[in-house]
């Protein structure tokens, strides 16, 4: 694991809040099963109508979400 990822998992306040109250063993398991995916600008993460079961954490950059019935972002 790179230093940047390690710092993100163990020092980022949002990740620490997400994992708050979880046993250390379970926390280690969650961190080990997380997948690090680099996305290019403009790529879709989840397409409309898909049945994804995931937690998406944006570590850098920004995420723009579009409503299904309109082509506007919020």
Domain that holds residue 16: 3-33
Cα(58)–Cα(62) distance, rounded to whole angstroms? 7
- Length of the chain equals 74
What is the structure's pLDDT at 69?
61
Q: What is the pTM of this model?
A: 0.52
Q: Which residues of 42-74 are buried (b: 16+ CB within 10 A; e: fewer)?
A: eeeeeeeeeeeeeeeeeeeeeeeeeeeeeeeee
Residue 66 lies in a domain: no
What's the pLDDT band for 68 if we cut at 50, 70, 90? Answer: low
Domains held by the chain: number: 1
pLDDT over threshold 50, residue 74:
no
Secondary structure in 3-state letters for 35-48 = CCCCCCCCCCCCCC
**pLDDT tens digits for range 13-65:** 988 898 899 999 998 888 888 877 777 777 777 777 777 777 777 777 777 76
């Amino acid at each position: 694991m790179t230093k940047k990822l390690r710092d993100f998992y163990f020092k980022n306040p949002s990740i620490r809040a997400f994992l708050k109250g979880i046993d250390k063993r379970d926390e280690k398991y969650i961190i080990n099963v997380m997948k690090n995916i680099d996305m290019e600008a403009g790529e879709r993460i989840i397409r409309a109508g898909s049945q994804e079961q995931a937690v998406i954490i944006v570590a850098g950059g920004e995420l723009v979400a579009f409503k299904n019935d309109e082509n506007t972002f919020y």
